[in-house]
Each structure stands twice: as C-alpha cells, then as structure tokens.
Structure 1
C-alpha cells in the first residue's frame, strides 16, 4: 500500500533512537529462540488453531485458551488477542494478570495495552504494586501508559519508593510515559520525570524511552529543560538517545544555547542519524545562527544528511534570493538534495523566478532517472507558473507511472500555494476530475484527497459525486483499497455524509497456508541483493506466520526481483516491494496484521499498510528505533547483516533479487 498508512508518513519522519551498544535491534521474546534450521513452533496443532483464530479475529474462540492448564497456550492466546485488539477480551486478560506463570502475565499485560481500553487502567495499576516478577511489572507499566487517563497519570509519574532502584521498573515507567505522551496524555510532572530519566545512570532503554517521549509528545515547551536535554544530545553514549534528544530540542527553540548545540551536532556528531535529527530540529527562528552549519551539511559525506540540510532550507529559508539556491544546487552531485534545493530556489523566487523555473524544466528534460524526474516535478510544485508544464507531463500518453504520481502531487501542491490564481481554480478542478477519470489509482487517490481538502474549498465546484462513484466502481478490491478509500471519503465529503467503515478483506479470502508455514524453519534467512549491496533478513515465522508465508511465496515467484526502493525517509525507513514503483501498488490479496511482542528497533522489517488488516506486498526497513510504530505495523523480519547498505539506500535503488537461504 502507498504510505504505510503511517504514511502520509512524511509527517512522522523523526526517527527516534536505536538499539546500540551491541544490543539486538529488534526485541524478540525468549520463546522465539531457535537455530537456523529448527522447525518452527507451528508443528503444534493447538498453536495453529490459536493462530488461525487470531487471523480470523475470533475473540470468542481465543478466550477459552486463556484457561488452558498448559501455560504455553494461555500465553499464546493472550498474544493472539494482542493482534485482535478486541475490547471484549479486557476482562479475561485482566484476570490473567494474576496468572501463576510470569510469561502469561507478561503476555496479558502486553495484550491489554494493545486494546488501549481505559477499563484496563485499574487492573494494570493494581498489578504494578502486586507484581513480583520484574519483567511482568515492566510490561504492566508500559501498557498502563497505553490506557491511562489524565486523572490517573500521577500513578505512572510517581513510582512506589521501593521501585526507585529497580531498573526494569524505570524502563517500564519511561515507556509508559512515552505511550501516554503519544496519546496526548502528559503533565508538567510527567515531563519533569522524563528529564530525570535521561540521566546517564539510568538503563539505556529508560533513557531511549524518555528522550523519545520528549521528542514525540506534542505541545511540549521544553525551554526550561534545554540545558539538560542539550547535554544528553551531545554526551549520551548511545546514538539513539542522542538522536531523540536532539529532536526534542526543537521544542526548546527559544533557549539561547540551543542553536549552538544543534549546529555543533550537525557538524560533528559521529553518527549520521544524530546529524539528521539536529538539522530537523532547527527552526526558522534560528535561521541566522544555524545557517552556516546547514550549508556545510549540504556536502556531508552521507547523502541523507545532505538531503535533510536541503530540506531545512526549503522549509525555513527566508529573505534569500532564489537564484542563490539555484547556484548552490548546480554544484551538488546527488540528485535528491539537488532537486530539493531547486525547490527552495523556486519557493523563494524573486526577480529570477522565470529563469529558475526554466532551469528546472531543462534539467527535467535531460534527466534519465525516472525518480529524479519525479523529484524535479516535486520541486516545480513550488511554482504555480509551472502549472501547464507539469499538467502536460502528468497526463502525457505512455508516460511512466512514477511521473504521473509525482506530477499529480505537484499540481495539488501548486493549488495550495498562496499565489495560485483565483481565476485558475476552476481549471484545477477540471484537472482533478480528469485525474479521477484516468483509471490510475495514484492520480485518482491524490485528486480525491485534494477535492475533499476543506482548505481548497472545492465542494462548491462539483454539482454531485457521480464521477467519483463511476471511478470507484472500476476499482478492484482489495488490490485498489487505498484509492477506493480516498474516493469513498470524497464522495461522503461532497454528499455531507459520515464515512462508513471501509471494506477490509476477511481472512477467508486469503487464509494462512499452514503447509507453507510449516515448511519454513524458525531461522529462515533471506538475502536481498540490492544495487548498493547485500542485506540479510531473518524471517520471524513464529511471530508472523501469515506475513512470512506470503513473503516467502512472493520470493519464490520472483515477485520482488527488479523492484525499486520507491520511498526513503532519512533516519526513518527505506521502503520497497511496490509492483508499480510509486507506492500505490499492491498484491491481489490482503493479510491480517500480526502484532507480536516485538519492537521497531534498528533494522526491523515491517509490512506497509493502509490501516489494520490491509497489509500486502510492500515492506520497509527502519534506519533506527521507531517506537511509535510498535504494535501498529507487523514486524515479519529483522536485518542481521547489511545495515550499512540499508543506511545508503536511496529512492530508485533496485532490489535485484531475493533468495532464501538457511
């Protein structure tokens, strides 16, 4: 699916932290330990029965397993309910918090957090005081953060004195405050406690969670904590913590020391991800004191840093002549930073606007890489004067799919410009109607999104939604689900109706192939040969059997051979596997989400989706820990070799082939 659903993910590009210091990048529960050739756990018919009920979202069939004599089945049933996420399971899972087996208690706590149901708050809070097992207590604390109310937040901020030196409890508290912060549940006391947890004497996981919470919780004013956070950003031994702390400094932009700290990090931190976080934390208000560091970053040895520096200028530069950025861009060799700097040149414009536009259009004409052409169209989206040029190439016969996708996005970007001519708005509406009628899912989905954007005020230009309904009927589900969703939302917008639940494919349309699953060893590896080098995955069949079986089947068919990485967000993800090459492609079936007890650390491999239970063939690799994805996107593999290659992947790099090995 197009954008991980997470995706309009460009809005969530702050990649936070990582598992450094030699720790495994993806936290895998002990039950998965296996040799590279060991059979997977699904030789057990009862485990297949539990997993099938999970896949079919049958809560009623899973609940009796919570009362089985064998702790293994109680634990697996609880973990299955973590994927189902049915609030009807809260009472039964709450009862398992007192299970005689600590592993069951851990699984029950995790599953309760996955329900995000406020009725689980009391049971989790009480368990914190009663729990004797450190890991189970840690899970209860983190899950409490997923369920806690504002009134109950104080119970998470203030641990009992007896737990003050318990490292597991400190980690659980930090992650609980992180999960609460993602939900917008925070307080001054919570922020103060998170800053305390940044102390280097605290365990790595606690520091990572605390820094990540400060970076990702919305609406915080961290000016009074700038010195403490800045010190962590410069001195913590773990790059992941430094990266998250640097990101958090964006919320302390009024502190006088912050620009200097960010400039220093952007120039000198040894890890490229920290340099990226520092550049992203720089604000327009800091433009003058950080500008030179950003200029220097344009020639950083790591292309992702150079791109982020170019994005800084695109987003924040003011009072500069556009032609200066044209000149800077022409000196760059990497096409993505160059195209982004050209976008800054067009945005700033000035007396040389026409010359800048002509230069970008000329570069478009001579570029040979389809993705570079796409990025040049994206740059032209900053200039309404390029409307006719972009329209022509977007709808040109036999143009590459990728060009149409970038082109329609550029046209919509132009329409959002303050300088877009009022008299041209009806023509834009007709262009969107043309895109809807094109039959191309990317054009249809993007145009439909623009039509329903209330800021563009396009409802008044359409007498009815008949043209959208006609286009919708030509789509094939579940393959075209994302475009279908966009069209349906726009139909409802024009007709002033509430949007009904979207049609998600049921398990019966693509059940788990248990014969195929049982043929996959627990340690199955996949070697991805890319145009930048080799990357090796370990497939997590015990945790995500349906997803792994689908991936293996597609690999055996050669489906991924010759596909591209179509989306790379620095310090976040590299995404590939799209049959169209633009992110809007899918297989002819959907998978159900498998939310095992795993975390998105560095090198975690997840399935993209357009919402729960809509996974397909696209997958992404994380550059660094991205804990906001935990429990929301299926993890089906882990990079065990080649992260240096992953860090250098760029848009357009090719997946030459994928081979299975043991």
Structure 2
C-alpha cells in the first residue's frame, strides 16, 4: 500500500514513517470571525446564495459579492473562493487585500493562498509591510508561503527586526516557511530561521509550524542542527512540538547525539505520539544503538507504539535470523504488532523459512477476525513462497471483502520483490486479469495499478486493453470512482495516451439541501458509540454545510451503525464509515470539498476523498495536529470529548451507532 495522498479507500496519506505518518493546541481552530457564530448562519438567504455558488464552483457568480457594502458578504465571498480555488479570482482577491475591514483582508489572504498562484506573490509581499492589523499580517505571511518563488523566499525568511516582537508575525512567518517547504521551496536561510523559531521563548504556534516544517520539508540535511532540535524534542512543553521535532531528527541521522535522544524519547516521553515519532525517526544506520529501545517498545502499554516498533524492525532490521522475530511475535498479544513482526520474520528469512511460512499460514487459518487475516496475508506478501496460498485466499468463495483487498495488495507487493521468481510472472499476470474481471472494485483498482506500474513491465504482457474497458463499463459512477480512475489510467498507459480529467460529479447531481442545513443547530453534537467507548463530535454546519447535512442524513438513516474503523495510522488518523469495510466503499453520490478557514488540530474530523470534490461517506479523526492536510480536505466536525477513546481505536473496532444529541 502506498502513502501519498488522502483516499476514500485505503487512505493514502503522506506520513513520516514506515508502513503507514493549527493554531489551536488541541482542537480544530477557526481563524476568521465569521465562522465562530452561535447560530446557524444560513438563515440568511444571501449567505445561502454565496454558499450555493461555492458548491457549484461558480467564480463569476461569487466575484460581485466581493464588492458588496456589507462586510459579512465580502468576507464570505472571499472564503467561498478559497474553496473554489480558481486562479481567475486572483485579481479580485488581491484588491480585497486593501479592504477597509481587517476580517475581509484576512479572508482574502487565505483565499489567495488557496489558489497557490505565483502571480499573487508580489501583492502578498507588499501587504506584509503595509498591513496594520496583526492577524491580517499573519495571514498574508502564511499565504505568501503558498505562492512564493525561490527568488522571493529570502524576504519571507528575513523579516525586519521590528516584527521580531510581534507574536502574530512570528507565527505567520513560521507557517509561511512551512507552506513553502511543503512545495519544495526552501533555502539555508529558511532552515536557519526555522531552527531559531523553535526557541521556547517563541509562541507555541510558531514553534509548531517550525518543527513541522523541519520534519516535512524534503531533502533537508539537519545534522548541524541536531543539538537544538534534539533539545526541543526532549524539553518543549507541547507534545505536538516534541513529536514534530523528533520526526525532524530523521534528517540528522549522522549526528552522534541523535540515537541517544531518540532512544530516550522512545523509552520515556510521557506522550505516546512522541514515542511513535521517535521510533519512526530511527534509521537503518542507527540500528545497533537503538535496537534495544525498539525491542522494549514492543511491550509499550500503548498498542500504537508497539506497532511503530514492529514497523521499525520490518523496515530496518538486517543481518538477523527471521526466527528471532517469529519468537518475539509469538509473545505479543496485539495482532497488528504481531503480524508486522511476522512480516519481518518472513522478510529476513533464514534456514527456517518454510517453517515460519507454515506458522503464519496456520495463524491465518485459525484467525476469525477478517482484519487480522488481512494483515497475515500482508505479512505473507514478504515471502514469494506463499504465492499460491495468498492467491487462493483472494479468490476463495464467500471470503470477506477485507480479506480479498489485503490479499491483492499482498500479492502485488510480493511481485515487486527483487526475489520474485521470473517463472511466476506469467501466473501473476493472469491473476491480475482475473482480479480485473472479478467485479470487486478493490481487486480491480489494485490490479489495474499493478499493470501500469512501469517497474513491473506488464505492458508487454497486456498489449490489448479491451478487458479493462469491459470492466470499466460495469462500474457505477460516482460510487465506484476510484476503481474507474485506476482502470482508466491503466487503459491510457497501455494505449500510450495522456490521461484525460476524471469525471467528477457536478453539484447538480447532489445539491445542498438547504432546508436540512437550516434545521441543524450551530454546535450540533453527535455521539459516536464505538466498541472502545464514546466520542462526541461538534458538527461545523456554518463551515461545511453540505458535508454536515450529508453526515446528519446518513446518521438518521443508521448508515454508520455496525461499520468498522478500517484504517488506523498511529499518530495520524483513525478512519471509518466505509460500507465495504476496506476503504473502497462509497455512497452513491459525491460532495464538493468545503475548504473553510480551519486547521487540522488534534481531534479534527475530516472527509476522505479521491481528489477534490469527490468526498462521500468516509471520515477520519486526527490524533494530533496534521497541518499538511489544512486547506486540502474538508473539516466538518471537531472532537469535544473522547480523545482518549480515539487514541485507542484500532483497525476492526466497530462504530456501534451514532446518535445526534438534542
């Protein structure tokens, strides 16, 4: 399984880790005054008109509202354009940077950042030095990071000394450098400034952004900053800053002090998320000095830490017999860490390879939980000798959908192994063709992805794409969009064509039900009763009316009752709501993305998607601040109680039912 993007299916997100890795410290934060209201704002017909134009992606209908005399309509129009993300709105939004009202200037800066248009760079840069309102300046700085060129980065990295005492400017600068770093725009001066911003005297928001920037900006060499970053990872009062700083130490792996710092964090940090980040930051080069701490973490009282430790061994262990990991695995009670260690045993192999494979296969046969069965197939994917066993499991009659999904992913992973037998490649190709013809969207989508993988060189096997076209025609849009996308990409790959834009459902196919929206009180709460305990959401109807109305309608239908959390990535998210239970399921309609001015803090609840404007029924809860998701995935709710339950959720845990609290 890859981890590059948020998906409705097995949810491919960018993580700082192995198999899977805000301005408010622990919540989704709303940064514009318009959304922090105590009443449902959509009793206002004009606001409904603006929101409808946003939902229909009608830039031309929204632009006149930017000229309205009423502040609220100018501000809401700018925020609506932040969701539309049309570069045609840049000129009009740029003009609003000089609006007489500061809240409109804030919204305009946010919307310009959302367009990521480099033509906005000059206006945003100028606004930083003209702006008198601290919050508006902060927004302009962050938006500049989303639009800045390499040539203009120096201005963002070197603010005038007069701004040094402005805490809002420090936060804006840090977030601006973070956003630029995500785009690959960085420099030595920018990195040096980020390290300075880690200073404990700086505000939390600046430190959080700086630590995340150092952790997530690709290609950095932080060896010379290892001492400072290590100190922050051990001493910052915020777990979120410590966690991101620990992750950044993976880029300072050659510094002599780093293994000791990571070992200390993995053993002693009081927050499980920091312990996970430390384990994920450990590298193969550090294997000897950190190994004992990773062994100890396998018995950490928090199961997600144990899983991160098992993933460390799967990714980095070398030169040790697989039997050692089989022995360790057999002592674990939690099935995910155990299955991951079994994967490490099979990967490392040794004289007892056949016996280890047999042991894993016997565990599979004895297991009753379909998710555990899936993980055991995933483990067997490390051993080409298990090919026939996995293949039979995939196509077994009456097997759970989840088992087939994990099985096809395991088979594809096995095919990518260097030691996969050449004589078995033809059999694999036939298995992919069978999966395409199965009618199972997970098997179809995964097999199609394998066929177009240039490293597998399968174009020479499948010279004709007709079987893919026949399978594609049997799919139902938008419900089967991800499988359709995968098949179409593979058809174009085999026919050596450029892939055309995918068919995204228009607003007219599922318009916002404004009657339903107006019936939802601002601050409406929902209780999710899980097999681990209850979690309460506050629904954000003013910020995401279409998404909240859809969620409430599905709750009232009992749609989520009995569903599972099908994906849990430690220190990242717990995701559920899939009708298939494997992430490939959907409702029969799509929603449009609603990118309100919100941040993914701890306990933010977002909608999974297969790309912009393809949201459906699946949702996820963040374990910690995840700012790389900001402005890219709809936030429609916030956890207000039960985060201790969220932190303990595991794959396969049930959503017993969801109730709206009156």
**TM-score band (shorter)?**
over 0.9
Match of 1:169 in 2: 169
- Which runs of 5 or more residues in structure 1 are unaligned? none
In the alignment, the residues of structure 1 paired with residue 4 and residue 535 of structure 2 have an alpha-carbon distance, to the nearest angstrom, of: 21
In the alignment, the residues of structure 1 paired with residue 22 and residue 138 of structure 2 have an alpha-carbon distance, to the nearest angstrom, of: 19
Is 1:30 the counterpart of 2:30 in the alignment?
no
In the alignment, the residues of structure 2 paired with residue 160 and residue 293 of structure 1 have an alpha-carbon distance, to the nearest angstrom, of: 45
Match of 1:657 in 2: 657
Match of 1:303 in 2: 303
Match of 2:15 in 1: 13
1:661 Cα deviation after fit: 0.9
SS in 1 for 2:657: strand
Which deviations, in whole Å up to 9, do the C-alpha atoms of 1:49-70 show, x marking residues without a partner? Answer: 0000000000000000000000
In the alignment, the residues of structure 2 paired with residue 20 and residue 364 of structure 1 have an alpha-carbon distance, to the nearest angstrom, of: 44
Match of 2:351 in 1: 351
In the alignment, the residues of structure 2 paired with residue 265 and residue 51 of structure 1 have an alpha-carbon distance, to the nearest angstrom, of: 47
Which deviations, in whole Å up to 9, do the C-alpha atoms of 1:254-285 show, x marking residues without a partner? Answer: 00100000000000000000000000000000
CA contact under 8 A between 2:561 and 2:658: conserved in structure 1? yes
Match of 1:495 in 2: 495
1:426 Cα deviation after fit: 1.0
1:423 Cα deviation after fit: 1.1
In the alignment, the residues of structure 2 paired with residue 496 and residue 201 of structure 1 have an alpha-carbon distance, to the nearest angstrom, of: 56
1:32 Cα deviation after fit: 2.9
Match of 1:464 in 2: 464
1:20 Cα deviation after fit: 7.5
Within 5 Å, which residues of 2 pair with 1:542-561? 542-561=542-561
Is 1:426 the counterpart of 2:426 in the alignment?
yes
- Evaluate the alpha carbon distance shift between residue 267 and residue 354 of structure 1 in structure 2; reply closer, same or farther with a 3 A threshold: same
SS in 2 for 1:143: helix
1:546 Cα deviation after fit: 0.2
CA contact under 8 A between 2:3 and 2:14: conserved in structure 1? no
- Evaluate the alpha carbon distance shift between residue 655 and residue 467 of structure 1 in structure 2; reply closer, same or farther with a 3 A threshold: same
In the alignment, the residues of structure 2 paired with residue 30 and residue 84 of structure 1 have an alpha-carbon distance, to the nearest angstrom, of: 20
Alignment length (residue pairs): 657
In the alignment, the residues of structure 1 paired with residue 588 and residue 197 of structure 2 have an alpha-carbon distance, to the nearest angstrom, of: 47
In the alignment, the residues of structure 2 paired with residue 275 and residue 286 of structure 1 have an alpha-carbon distance, to the nearest angstrom, of: 16
In the alignment, the residues of structure 2 paired with residue 376 and residue 452 of structure 1 have an alpha-carbon distance, to the nearest angstrom, of: 26
Match of 2:408 in 1: 408
1:5 Cα deviation after fit: 4.2
CA contact under 8 A between 1:342 and 1:379: conserved in structure 2? yes
Which deviations, in whole Å up to 9, do the C-alpha atoms of 1:210-233 show, x marking residues without a partner? Answer: 000000000000000000000000
In the alignment, the residues of structure 2 paired with residue 556 and residue 172 of structure 1 have an alpha-carbon distance, to the nearest angstrom, of: 41
CA contact under 8 A between 1:523 and 1:538: conserved in structure 2? yes
Which deviations, in whole Å up to 9, do the C-alpha atoms of 1:510-539 show, x marking residues without a partner? Answer: 000000000000010000000000000000
Greater RCO between the two (CA within 8 Å, min separation 6)? Answer: 1
Match of 1:435 in 2: 435
Q: How high is the TM-score relative to the length of structure 2?
A: 0.98
Match of 2:280 in 1: 280
1:12 Cα deviation after fit: 1.8
CA contact under 8 A between 2:393 and 2:407: conserved in structure 1? yes
Which deviations, in whole Å up to 9, do the C-alpha atoms of 1:348-367 show, x marking residues without a partner? Answer: 01111000000000000101
In the alignment, the residues of structure 2 paired with residue 537 and residue 29 of structure 1 have an alpha-carbon distance, to the nearest angstrom, of: 21
SS in 2 for 1:12: coil
Q: How high is the TM-score relative to the length of structure 1?
A: 0.98
In the alignment, the residues of structure 1 paired with residue 231 and residue 130 of structure 2 have an alpha-carbon distance, to the nearest angstrom, of: 37
Is 1:264 the counterpart of 2:256 in the alignment?
no
CA contact under 8 A between 1:20 and 1:238: conserved in structure 2? no
CA contact under 8 A between 1:3 and 1:583: conserved in structure 2? no
Match of 2:522 in 1: 522
1:551 Cα deviation after fit: 0.2
Is 1:360 the counterpart of 2:360 in the alignment?
yes
1:19 Cα deviation after fit: 6.9
Match of 2:155 in 1: 155
In the alignment, the residues of structure 2 paired with residue 460 and residue 4 of structure 1 have an alpha-carbon distance, to the nearest angstrom, of: 27
> Once structures 1 and 2 are overlaid, which stretch shifts more, 418-427 or 102-111?
418-427
CA contact under 8 A between 2:27 and 2:600: conserved in structure 1? no
CA contact under 8 A between 1:287 and 1:316: conserved in structure 2? yes
1:160 Cα deviation after fit: 1.7
CA contact under 8 A between 2:276 and 2:571: conserved in structure 1? yes
CA contact under 8 A between 2:220 and 2:251: conserved in structure 1? yes
1:9 Cα deviation after fit: 5.2
In the alignment, the residues of structure 1 paired with residue 490 and residue 95 of structure 2 have an alpha-carbon distance, to the nearest angstrom, of: 44
- Evaluate the alpha carbon distance shift between residue 18 and residue 361 of structure 1 in structure 2; reply closer, same or farther with a 3 A threshold: farther
In the alignment, the residues of structure 2 paired with residue 79 and residue 59 of structure 1 have an alpha-carbon distance, to the nearest angstrom, of: 12
In the alignment, the residues of structure 2 paired with residue 594 and residue 321 of structure 1 have an alpha-carbon distance, to the nearest angstrom, of: 51
